[in-house]
Structure 1
Amino acid sequence: MYDSSTTNFQNKRIQLFNHDMNFHTLQNLLKQSKTLIQLHQIHSLLIKTALHFDEFILSNFILTSSPISVEYATLFFHNSPVTPSLFAWNTLIKQYSKSQTPFESVRLYCQLQTSTDLKADKFTYPFVIKACGRCALLAAGGSVHSLVLKTGFDSNSVVNNTLVRMYAGCGNVGLAGQVFDEMSDRDVVSWSSMIAACLTCNYPSKALSVFLDMKQAKVKPNSVTLVSLLSVCTRLINIRMGESIHLYILTNNIELDVSLATALVEMYAICGYIEKAMVIFNSMDERNLQSWTIMISGLAENGHGEEAISLFNDMVDLGLIPDTISFSGLLSACSHLGLVEKGQKYFDQMVKFYKIQPTMEHYGCMVDMYGRAGMIEEAYDVIRNMPMEPNSVMLRSFISAYKNHGNRISFDDNLVKLLLKIEPDLGANYVLSANMSSLSGYWNEVDDMRVSMKGKGLKKVPGCSWVEMK
């Protein structure tokens, strides 16, 4: 099959070789590189013409090749006959910081510090700090922070904003707040970073407090800030605040990009306003996998299982490949609708066709689905054959199903013991265990459960719901 782009690339390569490697032509050739094979061709040409000894060419080749294959760029980097520039180091550190192997960014930074005379600059630090956050390397991140202070880069807003996110990624909102408080100049990115840090560390109320301080500082939120604020509303189930943010977006003509629109869909869906979520979802010009998955899960959780299954099929028809979260929403829908055959089919499809390793949530959906349908033996088989120990939610689901649908199979007492071991301070577990013992006629064990509850001061908390008033 004729490929004009490949032919043009080869013609320029020949032209470049025949005209003593014109630098402008080489730059164009590098920019047009899209595949590893083309990188091999250019690399070969550089060696033939001895231009791999040129530091400028080396840096440009690494800049071009690292997004295509960071491993190949690293190989070229380490085998270069000339000393790489700081630009080349920074390029690789940056590329690894956003790759699937961010630890390599930290490793390269350590090599830069120990094996060269080069000094890290304002471009180096944000990338390696980001990598420390992604790897949750608190000690390494703290060491980099100390060097930032020693070298005077603590006044750089980009470095400081990245430090806030790094400490949040390591689960330390206190240190993130300390960096934020010590900033001499805070822009919208700084405030957004601190709000996101509070969310990352599961302090939504604190995130809201930071936003109120942001308003007092008369700093206008951008779309990134608004995405975090909508996540705050989602965590706190605060529909009033969520609607006010939506109104702010509309009145200020803020563009509803895919991230912001998806955050709105999630907020409305989690807060139970599924119709509003669907309206926003249908109005989106662009949707990614996260958008579809959130809408599918929202429909399933709000009792619209048929719509969730239909939406899942629409997503697959469009060519999107479902992920583990997509299947969690789908299996949940099948469970609530009692669609056992469909649930079995989708679970098998997930494992065999999409090669997704089932998680605790997937197994939990299957146990719940079989339990609701009274298929106790099948539910028990899932628990017995799954590769991990069941959690408390799954155990309660199975034990309740067994109690409600009769004892067609002998009950495994070890499941009750495991439940009490996992959650020894929840009164409802003791009540459930006592009920199972009474069904089997083990009245002594029922008395033991009551004594144990009384001794620990435990009570069964009655069911409750959130109600928003005024």
Structure 2
Amino acid sequence: MFYHGIPPISIETLIHRSTTLSHLLQLHSLLLKSSLYHHPSLINHLLISATSISLPFSTSFFHSLPTIPPPPLFAFNTLIRAFSNTPSPQESLILFKKLQSSNLYPDHYTFPFVLRACGLCSFVGVGGVLHSLVLKMSFGSDRYVGNTLLKMYADCGFVRFARNMFDEIPVRDVVSWSSLIAGYVACDLPVGALNVFCEMRLLNEKPNSVTLVSLLSACTKMVNISAGESVHSYIVMNCIEMDVGLGTALFEMYSKCGKIDKALRIFNSMPRKNLQSYTIMISALANNGCREDVISLFNQMEDIGLRPDSLSFSAILSACSHMGLVYEGRNYFDRMVRLYGIKPTVEHYGCMVDLLGRAGLIEEAYDVIKNMPTEPNSVILRSFLGACRNHGWVPSLDDKLLSKLESELGANYVLAANIFSARASWKDANDLRLAMKHKGLKKVPGCSWVEVQN
């Protein structure tokens, strides 16, 4: 069919070639001028292209469409899916509500996107309502919908509901198993994750790399080197490709279990690495006291063209702090701000305070706290006060700063009382200890865990 001499197929070609917001605006104008504004296929194609270029334009275009007749269901699904992959997944739920108010009905493509949004927002109540609607509309036997329901409950922290959902899925696939295993790991139940994997193997279901990443995370949480090595053996024996995610999970497991040499060998053998891989390896090396390797690896990361982000600088600054690299820490902080234009966060300032405090540069650390654009949090203040106590420097802290410490943590009362005692402010120190006693707080003794080989 032609409208004013323009075939829709030609406009579809233009839509597929659009790459900028300017292109989208011109195409929008063309649809209006050529009376193609109600053409379902063109609306769908334009929304598909628009969501990958400009989500604000996609939203504006969608809401400008006539409500009678309503936009096609495919258009709703496209925009709901787009928002479910953004930092604002709740917009998917708003669109779903608008869909329900039209004369359209959601299909088996709609529910997975909306359920994903519920999981990301931890809206388990809304997810439960959607679960009822899924059953009412006879989509309960759909494997894709069932897997997403399972993951939604796990993401919301209701792993028992996720397990019940898993048991109700008539035909399970590797996604079902992987989602349940990841759910146990996310809910800090690593033993449950390993038990599910044992069930999976008994039924001769083959795991994929996603499954194995979750299993390695479970081993990391338990610091279980034996289980981790078993997973590694499975990867090698079955010739599973060592992609970035799997390789990163594997060397992180070895590093957390104290096998830093093996972790480094795996990292170096990986054919592809990304920024996250480098960041985790830098933290692992720092935690194991590998001073030279930390600096070398960060420089290597920059040399191959990877641009450090906020997390990367948090890792290197923390490494400098724990290894006493004051000059290097100052240099990295300066490069972060001046060279990469990254605005320091509270975590970055905290690393600098900790670095300077450990090195005995208490006054400089105090200057960092006073010049922070935001209020220091309790972690920074506790680190600073601990450094003051360790180095015998008595700060002239005001009550406003001391009030930032958590009032329900006994260790903070003891630390602040010790500072007041060092200043000979006996009344303030005694008041703090009395307040601590009145609230029934106690300082939990420090402890260490050492695992000895049999």
Q: What interval of TM-score do these two structures reach, taking the shorter chain for normalisation? A: 0.7 to 0.9
1:461 aligns to 2:442 (yes or no)? no
Provide the residue aligned with 2:74 in structure 1.
87
Q: Deviations over 1:381-426 (max 9, x none)?
A: 334444244334x4443233222222264466877776572412x5
CA distance 1:233–1:107, shift in 2 (3 Å): same
Higher helix share: 1
Q: Which amino acid aligns with 2:54?
A: S
Q: Residue by residue, what CA displacement relative to the aligned partner does 1:342-388 show, whole Å, maximum 9, x if unpaired? A: 32232233345544443443232112211111111122233444424
Identify if the C-alpha distance between structure 1 residues 390 and 42 changes in structure 2 by more than 3 Å, giving closer, same or farther. closer
Matches within 5 A, 1:431-442: 432=415, 436=419, 439-440=422-423
Residues 313-342 of structure 1: CA deviation (Å, up to 9, x unaligned): 222233322222211111012213323233
**Deviation digits for residues 107-149 of structure 1, max 9, x if unmatched?**
11110001x1110010000001111212222332222222112
Deviations 1:53-105 (A, max 9, x none): 32222222222222222222333333335632111111111111112322221
The answer to whether the 8 A contact 2:3-2:35 is kept is no
**Structure 1 residue 435, shift from structure 2 partner:** 5.1
TM-superposed deviation, 1:281:
1.8
Q: In structure 2, the residue corresponding to 1:60 is in which secondary structure?
A: helix
Q: For the structure 1 residues 17 and 351, does the alpha-carbon distance in structure 2 shift closer, same or farther, using more than 3 Å as the test?
A: farther
Compared CA separation, residues 390 and 100, structure 1 to 2 (3 A) = closer
Give 3-state SS (helix, strand or coil) of 2:385's partner: helix
How many angstroms does 1:26 deviate by?
4.3
Aligned counterpart in structure 2 of residue 53 of structure 1, from 31, 34, 38: 38
Question: How many residue pairs are counted as aligned between the two chains?
Answer: 449
Select 2:120's aligned residue among 116, 121, 134: 134
Per-residue deviation, residues 17-47 of structure 1 (Å, max 9, x unmatched): 9984262x54444333322233334334434
What is the one-letter code of the residue matched to 1:282? N
* CA RMSD after TM alignment: 3.2
On the 8 A contact 2:378/2:406 being kept in 1, the answer is no
- For 1:17-36, list aligned pairs within 5 A: 20-21=6-7, 23=9, 25-36=10-21
Distance in 2, matches of 1:135 and 1:194, equals 19
Pair 1:339 & 2:331 matched:
no
**Is the contact made by 2:118 and 2:127 (CA closer than 8 Å) also made in structure 1?**
yes
**Contact 1:367 1:383 survives alignment (8 Å):** yes
Is 1:373 the equivalent of 2:391?
Answer: no
Give unmatched runs, 5+ long, in structure 1: 1-15
Which of residues 134, 143, 148 in structure 1 aligns to 2:129? Answer: 143
Match of 2:54 in 1: 69
Residue 78 of structure 2 aligns to a residue whose secondary structure is helix
Are residues 1:104 and 2:91 paired? yes
Aligned to 2:344: 358
For 2:104, the equivalent position in structure 1 comes to 118
1:53 is paired with a residue of what secondary structure? coil
Q: Indicate if the aligned counterparts of 1:55 and 1:83 stay in contact, CA closer than 8 A.
A: no
Closer, same or farther: CA 273–453 of 1 in aligned 2, 3 Å: farther
Whether the aligned pair in 2 keeps the contact of 1:262 and 1:291 (CA below 8 Å) is yes
Of residues 163, 167, 188 in structure 2, which corresponds to 1:181? 167
Distance of aligned partners of 1:44 and 1:439 in 2 relative to their CA distance in 1, 3 Å threshold: closer
Cα pair distance change 1:335/1:45, threshold 3 Å: same
Cα distance in 1 between the residues matched to 2:132 and 2:4: 52
| Aligned 8 A contact 2:115 2:152 in 1 | yes
**Percent of residue pairs identical:** 49
Structure 1 434/66 Cα, relative in aligned 2: closer, same or farther at 3 Å? closer
- Return closer, same or farther for 1:411/1:68 CA change in 2, 3 Å cut-off: closer
Structure 2 CA distance for partners of 1:460 and 1:131, relative to 1, 3 Å: closer
Deviation for aligned residue 1:467:
0.5
Which residue of 10, 23, 27 corresponds with 1:42? 27
> In structure 1, how many angstroms separate the alpha carbons of the residues matched to 2:279 and 2:441?
42
Secondary structure, in 3 states, of the residue corresponding to 1:52? coil
Q: What is the CA distance between 1:454 and its match in structure 2?
A: 12
> Is contact 1:431–1:460 with CA below 8 Å preserved after alignment?
no
Q: Aligned pair in 2 of structure 1 residues 51, 268: CA closer, same or farther (>3 Å)?
A: same
Q: 1:258 aligns with which of 217, 224, 244?
A: 244
In 2, the alpha carbon distance for the partners of 1:52 and 1:262 equals 48
How many Å separate the matches in 1 of 2:216 and 2:269?
A: 18
Matched, 1:302 2:302: no
Q: Once the 2 structures are TM-superposed, how far is the Cα of residue 177 of structure 1 from its aligned partner?
A: 2.7
| Paired residue type of 1:78 | H
Sort the Cα spacing of 1:415 and 1:181 in 2 relative to 1 into closer, same or farther, 3 A.
farther
CA distance in 2, matches of 1:27, 1:419: 60
1:164 aligns with 2:122: no
Q: Please tell me whether the aligned partners of residues 383 and 390 of structure 1 are also in contact (alpha carbons under 8 angstroms).
A: no
Query: Take 2:51 and 2:403, find their aligned partners in 1: how far apart are those partners?
Result: 54
How many angstroms does 1:223 deviate by?
A: 0.7
Sort the Cα spacing of 1:457 and 1:388 in 2 relative to 1 into closer, same or farther, 3 A: closer
| Residue identity opposite 1:200 in structure 2 | A
Distance of aligned partners of 1:259 and 1:19 in 2 relative to their CA distance in 1, 3 Å threshold: farther
Change (3 A) 1:113 1:468: farther
Question: What is the alpha-carbon distance in structure 2 between the residues aligned to residue 52 and residue 448 of structure 1?
Answer: 71
Could you tell me the TM-score, scaled by structure 1's length?
0.85
Question: What does 1:375-454 align with in structure 2 at a 5 Å threshold?
Answer: 375-386=361-372, 387-392=374-379, 394-407=380-393, 409-410=395-396, 419=405, 421-424=407-410, 432=415, 436=419, 439-440=422-423, 445=429, 449=433
Residues in 2 aligned to 1:410 and 1:99: alpha-carbon distance in whole angstroms: 46
Cα deviation 1:237-258 (Å, max 9, x = unaligned)? 1122111111111110111111
Partners in 2 of 1:145 and 1:371 — Cα distance?
A: 53
| Equivalent position amino acid for 2:248 in 1 | T
Give the equivalent residue in structure 2 for 1:235: 221
